[in-house]
Amino acid sequence: MLTSIHVNVNPRDMLLPSNRSSRLNTRNRHALYGVTAVLRDTENRLQKVVLGIPELVERHTGENIAAEILEIIRSFSIEDKVGYFTLDNASNNETAMSEIAEELKFDPVQRQVRCMGHILNLVVKSLLFGKDVDAFEKSLVKEEPLARASYDQWMRKGPIGKAHNFVPVYEEFLAKAKRLFRDARKGEGKRILPPCLEGLEESSFINESDWAVLRTFDEILSDFHVIVQVLQGDGQSRYRSTGVREAFGSMTDVLESFEFLRGWLEDAKSRIERHPEPEQFCVNINLGWKKLDKYYNTLRDSPAYYAAVALHPSLRWDYFDEVWGQQHPGWVDEAKEIVQRLWDTEYRDLQIAVTSPEANPPLLKRMNISAGWQASVSGSDKDVADPVEYWVLKRSEYPRLSRMALDVMTVPAMSSECERLFSTTGLMVTPLRNRLDAGRIGLIQTLRSWLRASIIEDVDSILLDDTALQEAVGRDGLEERQE
């Protein structure tokens, strides 16, 4: 029997390639929702599959989104197996979660995990652009990279804005380099600006002080890049280039990532006087820290974050005592209450198949079993690199606690699988396949993922009446599965 199935949902407006002679070019934009799932099969192997790519033809309201997702969930008869949802912070997603939760009878706040990629994107925008980021983005003129209105808006953002404006200027400069050299020779030694720089004020150019600011931002953002690289993994354990077997994208890494980035920004604030334009740096770093702290405080909404760390054999409650114990002891108590509540309400009395006399201990022992595991630390626990494998091996000793640990640890930290799905879809839909409708696209990508996961062995050709599409599903899916 399958255990909890965690669902990723992410929207994307896709403009499919068009045949230039077609009169229907304007109809090739599809509002698609990627719906993927992460689950453990009967042998506790982690699987990632596509459940569907529904097209939202009506308004993007939470009710409409929920209706599409519920239809997919019901079509697979997995209503009683749905675990956590990884979503971005859009208000319509909040509404969708409420609708889904009401139908499936669970707490929508506790079951929603916020995509870390989306959170870090918002933090970095605040860090770079300051306050009123949304208003700033809406004010930009998107038709032309160097439209005067957009150019002036970016210039108000200091060195970051200058650097942004410099990119199209530099590209135009390279494209017209031959003309520049020719005009320079005719100018007989006079200073000749390339056409793209004519009329720009001296303040538009990046000076030495600006480069110092940009280098500092690059230093700060480098660690954000590392965190994103870690959290966008698929959670599957593999041997890496270092020779170590590791898994990235685990829920166990989220709290540590928040703590690391908060500390990094606080340290940057303490070194502010060493940097050029310290006042501007102070404002931007504070805004970035506040945005990060806003979402840091939402971690308590879902028990998955704290439980994944508390049940990691090399971390346990010691991690909470280490990072919070001195300054915020109340936070440690709150985290313990949240995790205990999850255990009491969903796992303590869980009915499981009896495999040993210890599988169904008396109620009093089940109440204390979590605390008992926390106290039973072996010397090798500190070296555990794969907590999922650890808990798979502990199933007979701690059947319910291992189920809880495996459920929370396999929740995706980011909606990366949806992004990878859209990338694959874009590669599949070539100009020669420009008439594919959204239903066929979803069917092909779903079957392709099932082939890779060995859920199905082959695709009946009657499902695909297009030879090219049969090749795309059969060849790509089977080859990737064999690797």
pLDDT digits (tens, 9 = 90+) for 1-35: 345 789 988 887 665 554 443 333 334 567 888 99
Q: What is the DSSP letter of 80?
A: T
Among residues 272, 297, 322, the one where a domain terminates is 297
Domain that holds residue 145: 121-297
**Do 156 and 87 sit in the same domain of this protein?**
no
473 domain residue, yes or no: yes
Residues 407 and 401: their CA atoms lie apart, in Å, by: 10
Query: 10 Å Cβ neighbour count for 124?
Result: 20
Position of tokens 């002080």? 209
> In which band, very low, low, confident or very high, does the pLDDT at 325 lie, cut at 50, 70 and 90?
very high
**Do 136 and 39 sit in the same domain of this protein?**
no
Calculate ∠ Cα 373-378-379, nearest 5°.
155
Please name the residue ranges forming H helices in 195-250. Answer: 208-231
3-state secondary structure of 359: coil
Residues 402 and 358: their CA atoms lie apart, in Å, by: 13
Position of tokens 């200073």? 191
**Do 163 and 105 sit in the same domain of this protein?**
no
Residues 122 and 127: their CA atoms lie apart, in Å, by: 9
3-state secondary structure of 87: strand
Domain count, the chain: 2
3-state secondary structure of 123: helix
161 domain residue, yes or no: yes
pLDDT attached to residue 363? 54
User: What would the pLDDT profile of 334-393 be if each residue is shown by its tens digit?
Assistant: 999 999 999 999 999 988 775 554 555 555 455 555 677 877 777 778 888 889 999 999
**Do 170 and 276 sit in the same domain of this protein?**
yes
Residue 178 has pLDDT above 80, yes or no: no
pLDDT attached to residue 480? 46
Give the mean pLDDT of 239-251.
Answer: 78
pLDDT attached to residue 432? 74
Between the two ends of the chain, the Cα-to-Cα distance in Å is: 27
3-state secondary structure of 207: coil
Which two three-digit tokens encode residue 43?
A: 């042998």
Among residues 234, 263, 297, the one where a domain terminates is 297
pLDDT attached to residue 201? 60
3-state secondary structure of 406: helix
Query: 10 Å Cβ neighbour count for 49?
Result: 18
Element housing 310 (H / E): helix 303-310
User: What would the pLDDT profile of 391-405 be if each residue is shown by its tens digit?
Assistant: 999 999 999 999 999
Q: What is the DSSP letter of 147?
A: -
Say if pTM beats, i.e. exceeds, 0.85: no
Residues 483 and 474: their CA atoms lie apart, in Å, by: 14
Residue 169 has pLDDT above 70, yes or no: no
**Do 109 and 126 sit in the same domain of this protein?**
no
User: What would the pLDDT profile of 185-228 be if each residue is shown by its tens digit?
Assistant: 555 444 444 444 555 566 667 777 778 778 888 888 899 999 99
Residues 281 and 273: their CA atoms lie apart, in Å, by: 9
**Do 21 and 110 sit in the same domain of this protein?**
yes
Q: What is the DSSP letter of 23?
A: T
407 domain residue, yes or no: no
Q: What is the DSSP letter of 428?
A: H
3-state secondary structure of 41: coil
pLDDT attached to residue 252? 93
**Do 178 and 277 sit in the same domain of this protein?**
yes
Q: 408 and 304 in contact (C-beta within 8 Å)?
A: yes
Element housing 296 (H / E): helix 278-296
> In which band, very low, low, confident or very high, does the pLDDT at 71 lie, cut at 50, 70 and 90?
very high
Element housing 51 (H / E): strand 46-52
Among residues 297, 317, 352, the one where a domain terminates is 297
Q: What is the CA radius of gyration of the chain?
A: 26
9 domain residue, yes or no: yes
